[in-house]
Every structure is written in C-alpha cells, then in structure tokens.
Amino acid sequence: MKDNRIHYKRFNERDQRFNERFDDAYFERQHAKGKLTAIERIDILLDEDSFVEIDAFALPLDYKGDNPKALGDGVICGYGKINQRDVLVYAQDFNYQGGSLGTIHAEKIQKVQDLGLRMGHPVIGLIDSGGARIQEGIASLAGYAGIFMNNVKSSGVIPQISVILGPAAGGAVYSPALTDFIFMTRKTAYMFVTGPNVVKEVLNEDTTSEKLGGADVHSTKSGVADFIYDDEEHTLLGVRKLLSYLPSNNVEHPPVAKNANILPDGMENISKIIPDDSNKPYDVIEIINRLVDKGSFFETAEGYAQSIVTGLARLNNQVIGIVANQPKHLAGTLDIDSSRKAARFVRFCDAFHIPILVLEDVPGFLPGIEQEHAAIIKHGAKLLFAFAEASVPKITVILRKAYGGAYIVMNSNKMGGDFNFAWPTAEIAVMGPEGAVKILNRREIEASDDPEALRRSLILKYKEEVANPYIADQKGYIDEVILPESTREKLIKAFSLLENKFEEKSSKKHGNIPL
C-alpha cells in the first residue's frame, strides 16, 4: 500500500513556512506608517472567521529564493462573507515589494475577479501598491491589462469596490477608476498616475503625495473618491455599510431590510424647511431625512459637486437611490461636476435595480465662460442621457424651482419619469420670474413712472400665474400636487406600484452617451 505520510509531511512543512509570513516585523513595518497589514484589513472587512484564502502559496514568477514573505506574491486573495453574504476580496501587501503588481500577483487578482463575475458576488480590492512591478517589465503591464478587462466585463454585473489604503500609483489607479465606488483613508492613502517626483522632473513643480492625490483632494476637487474616512477601520466598516444596500449582482434585487421603528423624525414639520422667500437657501438633506426610513440615508461623494446630493436610503425598508438638488450650494444649479456626479450615480442605480427618487429644486444650469468652455453642454447631456436611459422606477418630487433645461433634465415625465409630483411651493416655468419679466416686460417697465414698483408687481403676477405647479398639473406634466406631509406615503405607494415595471430590451449594441 502507498505510504501517504511523506505527502502530509510536505503539507505540514508548507504550513509552517506559511505562518512565517507574518512575523512581528511584518506588522511593525506597516503600523509604523500608520497603516494596517493586508491580513488585519481583511479581518475587519469580513464577518468573523469567514475568510478563506486561495493561492496562498503562489510564488513570484522565476522566484528562486527561500523568503516566506514572497509566498502569495504580495497579495492576499480569497473569499468570505459580509453581513452573511458572499464576497470576493484581494488585499495587496505593501510589505512585499511595495505591493507592486507582478505577473502572479496579477493572475491571482484576475482569478478573484473571474470567480466574482461567474458566481455573481461583489469584488472588493484593498489597494496598497507602488504600481507595475518594475523588475517584471511588460509582463506586469499585461497583468494590469487583464485586470482592467475583467473590471470592464464585471461593470454592471457585480458591484466592484476599491479601497485605497496606501499608495495607488501608476497602473494601480486605473482598476479603481473602472470600479463602482472608491473609498480612501485620510493621510495614508493617495492616488496618482504620476507621483510628485515625476511632476518635479517634467514640470518643475513642487508638490507632495497628499497635495497631489490625497483623500481630501480626491473627495472634493477631482471627485475620484466617493467615500473618505479618518482611519482604516472606519473605511472598511464603510464598505460593509455600503454593501448592505446593494444586491450581489444585476440579476438580484437589493436586499429588503426588516427594520422596525423606521418612521423618520420630524415629518410633521417637513413643510417648514423651505423658506418663504424662494431665493433663500435650505439644506435638502433635512428634507431627505424626513422622507426616508429613520437614519437610513447614506450619502455618496459627499464632499464633491455639492450642488447635487446623491446617496442610498431605504423607504419602507426597500432600497432607493436619491438625487437631490442642494439649494445651499450654488443655489442648487447644475454645473459640470454635479451633472457628472449625478449621471454616474443614476447609471449605477439603473445597473443594479435600485429605484431612483429625484428631489428637485434647480434654478438652471450654472452660467459662465468657465462652464461653457469646459463643455457644460456635453457634461449636462450626460445627466439627460443617464436619466432617459435608466429603466428602473423613477419618481421626481418638485420641491421648489424647476426651471428651463434643468426641469427637463431632472427626470421630467417626458424624459421617462414614471411619476412627477410637485409640492404647492413648486415653481415650474421656462425661467425664473426675475429673468422672465426682464425679457417679456422690458419696454413696459422702461416707460413706467415707477419702473421698480412695476417690475416687482409683474414678478409677483408671474409667480402667481405662471411659476406654480398648477399649470403643469392641468396639462398632465405633473401627476399630482401633494402636501409635503403626505410625500412619504405617496412615494411608498408609487414605488410599490412601479415594482412591476417592465423593461424593454433593446436590440441596439449600446447608446453613445456623451463622454
């Protein structure tokens, strides 16, 4: 009979070497930089004891040494659970060659992506990497190419989440850019295509990693990062929270919560939030929090393009996506950044069966040379395209201003909005009263004995006769004028009806969204 002991001996020896990966120095090197190790991160991210590692013994290409740190080729890959649902995960290990991407490292990540795509589970990448492994040359570039291809194949099929917890330099930035959401940790995470040294060399400009591509920059200026947190633990817990709103793939629907006590606080004074003077700002988040289930609003890209608010929430325990104009920033106008931000969010919701609620208070597109020259025409069209194409249930509530092109964009009924409701405070017109009176009554005002008094009375008349919800209601452009206090109930009923919304499959290959 064959003696299997020799095989088991080899297995046990391997196990011994495997544990040598994680000596004290392994932890100390990362901790000294204010970072956690790859394995500690996985531990926080996943449900307790759920992680199963794969390819732990993979060695770098052509590796001939005997360093246990090389096991796994600088990336820990595997699967586990978040809130009892399966996920695939990879975590780059900066301790081995700066988390750089060699051939085997890349193949391991691709295997995780393949598994996620074939089984329909989200893929989460924990990035801490110096980019393409310089020693492996073209092979490491090809490794990135394979990862990018998988990112694109998975886009719209499974949620893909990137968590930047250290450097993401060179090739390391483009996989995150192809995924659905990017998380970053303040101070220790940074992302750039070319780092400060190259910037100095090419442009003779002095900068730092933080100033060039830190979490604050990417969450406010570039919009690359969707979520930022002060430390790694909160960043990883943020990923867990985000996943609680998402289905595992594009065939499933988002998970339905079973929370009790979901009634939002302050519903009774919701109508008091909008000021009497329609030129005064207010915080639309106060309205959101009075409409959706208590404490359920989870804002995305909070610090970027703040004239629009996007985020996930629950309404009667069902997940919805929210797009709301924010009057307290730039009067809620649509500019390039806010159009891009909202368009991408709408497309994400559409891909994953998340119904969309639009809360509208928008005076128009932001005027100006800067915006026009930077192509507000094309960028604004992205939002139009995204809303028009989205086949998930879509409801708009016009809270106050809905003027001109911006009215059309924000999921108006001829653009495919399933229901358009308006509050009595809604002002729906081609333009605001001041602008309209200036154009329509210029001669009359100039000829008047008291031009200012006439102008004011004409503005009032326009508000009463034109800029209100009732004309749109009479013509069927608005389905119902509703009271603020009844909005939550109206929305629950309307979204319930729309659950059966039928999606027509198109025979075309794809549309040509203005990019």
Q: Where are the beta strands (DSSP E) in 109-254?
A: 123-129, 160-169, 181-185, 190-192, 227-229
159 interacts with ligand HXC by CB under 6 A: no
Cβ-proximal residues to 62 (8 Å cutoff; 6+ apart), any chain: none
Return d(Cα 383, Cα 390) in angstroms, integer.
Answer: 11
Alpha helices in 134-228 (DSSP H): 138-154, 174-178, 196-203, 209-213, 215-220
List strand residue ranges (DSSP E) for 346-504, in order: 356-362, 394-403, 419-422, 427-429, 480-481
Cα(101)–Cα(114) distance, integer angstroms: 18
Q: For residues 484 and 270, is the Cβ–Cβ distance under 8 A? A: yes
Asked if 171 is an active-site residue, the reply is yes
Segment contacting ligand HXC (CB under 6 A): 8-16, 60-68, 127-135, 239-247? Answer: 127-135
Could you tell me if 245 and 298 are in contact, meaning their C-beta atoms sit under 8 angstroms apart? Answer: yes
Nearer of residues 190 and 352 to ligand HXC, judged by Cβ? 190
169 forms part of the interface with ligand HXC (CB under 6 A)? yes
339 binds ligand HXC (CB under 6 A): no
Is the distance from CB of 96 to CB of 73 less than 8 angstroms?
yes
Q: How far is the CB of 134 from ligand HXC (least distance, A)?
A: 4
Q: Which is nearer to ligand HXC, 25 or 375 (CB)?
A: 25
Q: Which of 122, 125, 130, 176 binds ligand HXC (CB under 6 A)?
A: 130
Q: Would you say 192 or 495 has its CB closer to ligand HXC?
A: 192
Distance CA 444, CA 437 (A): 10
100 in contact with ligand HXC (CB under 6 A): yes
Q: Which is nearer to ligand HXC, 171 or 332 (CB)?
A: 171
Among 133, 341, 347, 353, binds ligand HXC (CB under 6 A): 133
171 lies in the binding site for ligand HXC (CB under 6 A): yes
Q: Closer CB to ligand HXC, residue 191 or residue 308?
A: 191
Q: With 0-12 CB in 10 A as exposed, 13-18 as middle and 19+ as buried, what is 381?
A: middle
Told to check if 175 binds ligand HXC by CB under 6 A, we report no
Q: Which is nearer to ligand HXC, 1 or 32 (CB)?
A: 32
Task: Select the residue interacting with ligand HXC from 97, 325, 339, 487 (CB under 6 A).
Answer: 97
Single out the catalytic residue among 406, 429, 472, 494: 406
Range in contact with ligand HXC (rule: CB under 6 A) among 94-102, 358-366, 384-392, 441-449: 94-102
72 binds ligand HXC (CB under 6 A): no
Catalytic (active site) residue 332: no
- The amino acid present at 121, given as its one-letter code, is H
By the rule CB under 6 A, 98 interacts with ligand HXC? yes
Q: By the 8 A CB rule, do 115 and 124 touch? A: no
Report which of 95, 108, 32 is spatially closest to residue 69, judged by C-alpha positions.
95
Q: What does the DSSP 8-state code read for residue 329?
A: T
Residues 6 or more apart whose CB falls under 8 angstroms from that of 217 comprise 210, 211
Q: Is 219 near ligand HXC (CB under 6 A)? A: no
Give the one residue of 174, 257, 271, 328 binding ligand HXC; rule: CB under 6 A: 174
Angstrom distance (rounded) from CA 278 to CA 313: 27
Q: Which of 99, 130, 166, 171 is catalytic?
A: 171
22 binds ligand HXC (CB under 6 A): no
Residue from 75, 104, 126, 132 in contact with ligand HXC (CB under 6 A): 132
Q: Are 253 and 206 in contact (CB under 8 A)?
A: no
Residue 75 Cβ, how far from ligand HXC at the closest point, in Å? 13
Binding stretches for ligand HXC (CB under 6 A): 97-98, 100, 130-134, 141, 144, 167, 169-171, 174, 195
Residues with a known catalytic role:
170-171, 405-406
